[in-house]
Structure 1
Amino acid sequence: MKQRYTSVVDVHVVLWRNGLVLLAERANTGFADGWLNLPSGHLEEGESVVDGVIRETHEEIGVTVTATDLRFAHVLHHRGDSGAGRIGFFFEAEQWAGEPRNMEPTKCARLLWADPNALPPNTIPYQAAGIRNCHKRAPFDLHGWS
């Protein structure tokens, strides 16, 4: 009998300003340090994906988004090199309260705005795929399942 599939669920916020997307450079985490990613994180037990992305946005970049500020944009079913899967929910926002700032300087070297059509080469591929799919309004994709 096959085992029931379980997966990590990630939430990502794609903040748009003047056609650019906000990225953060990972540092001192032991995973993908020096690589760029969206403000994001794992869903916590008992938390909805909307509540999770609101929490992560505030924790990581100090801005407040509300459920009405967010627009569901994309779901990406990703499988990493180890074979482990994860499901990422991507939400977009073009308005929020506060100015993005690095709230986790021990885990983040800097924030930067990037062109979604020319993402820096050190953008984490899973998140780069999510950004590209949000930008082209594709609601679903697979990544790493070939």
Structure 2
Amino acid sequence: MMAAGTLLDVLHGYAARFPERASALDPLRALIADGASVTSRHEPRGHVTVGAAVLDPEGRLLVVRHRALGRWLMPGGHLEPGDRTLLDAALRELLEETGISPEQVRVPALWREVPIHIDCHVIPANPRKGEPEHAHWDFRFLFEMVGTERSMVLQTEEVLDARWLAPDAHSEIVAAVIRAALKDDPRARPAR
């Protein structure tokens, strides 16, 4: 399982890049300080997940229709014991859910160590799985598709469909973060 120190390093880098968002991470830092196993999906108070914000050359964002939640989300999910880094976990989840391999995407240099966004959202209780309502701290990493291949093989146990959407059509905050990321580093802009 990923070490708490690794997670704290990422949190520190994110807070340095986005100081205006640093206080929103205080509840996660408090869980870590309290000894919570936030890298394990079995931590009932809340845990870390990862998301892949994948842009195609036209600047569209990849979203998948999540089976259990019935919502359109970015590909992503829980950490697994073999994940060395959060970025590795996001690449693994992207491959598992969509069939898009690490070779089909690139990570803009500015965003290799720091996610473009960290979102906290509440997951409803799932009595069937014996899970209480809990928080997901979703660390979202930016990826760009390379080449022209766009075919996907969806993991139908979790994903019902996939679409490429204009970022504004998906989530206002994700769209704003992506615009800021691309503005901050011209090398991070998708080829037009």
| Category of TM-score, reference length = shorter chain | 0.5 to 0.7
Q: Which structure has the greater CA radius of gyration?
A: 2
Q: How many residues in Structure 1 have an aligned counterpart in Structure 2?
A: 126
Aligned to 1:142: none
1:130-141 equivalences under 5 Å are 130-137=174-181
Q: Tell whether 2:163 aligns with 1:112.
A: yes
Equivalent residues of 2:118, 2:139 under 8 A apart: yes
Q: Deviations over 1:14-50 (max 9, x none)?
A: 11120210111122x2xx12x1011101111241112
In structure 2, runs of 5+ residues without a counterpart are: 1-32, 39-46, 125-132, 183-192
Q: Mind listing any 5+ residue stretches in structure 1 that lack a counterpart? A: 139-146
Matched, 1:9 2:48: yes
Between Structure 1 and Structure 2, which shows a larger proportion of strand residues?
1
The alignment status of 1:45 with 2:99, answered yes or no, reads: no
Q: What residue identity is the alignment partner of 1:116?
A: P
Q: How does 1:35-114 map to 2 (within 5 A)?
A: 35-47=71-83, 48-65=85-102, 69-71=106-108, 72=111, 73-80=115-122, 84-96=134-146, 98-114=149-165
Q: Is the partner of 2:168 in helix, strand or coil?
A: coil
Cα distance in 1 for residues equivalent to 2:50 and 2:175: 13
Q: Tell me the amino acid that sits aligned with residue 135 of structure 1.
A: R
Decide which moves more: 94-103 or 47-56. 94-103
Larger relative helix fraction = 2
In the superposition, relative to structure 1, how do residues 16 and 79 fare at CA in structure 2: closer, same or farther (>3 Å)?
A: closer
Aligned-residue Cα RMSD (Å) equals 3.1
SS at match of 1:137: helix
TM-superposed CA distance for 1:131, in Å, is 4.7
Question: Match for residue 19 of structure 1?
Answer: 59
1:89 match: secondary structure:
strand
Query: Which structure ranks higher in relative contact order (CA pairs < 8 Å, sequence separation ≥ 6)?
Result: 1
Instruction: Judge conservation of contact 2:167–2:174 (CA < 8 Å) in 1.
Output: no
Contact 2:55 2:144 (C-alpha < 8 Å) held by counterparts: yes
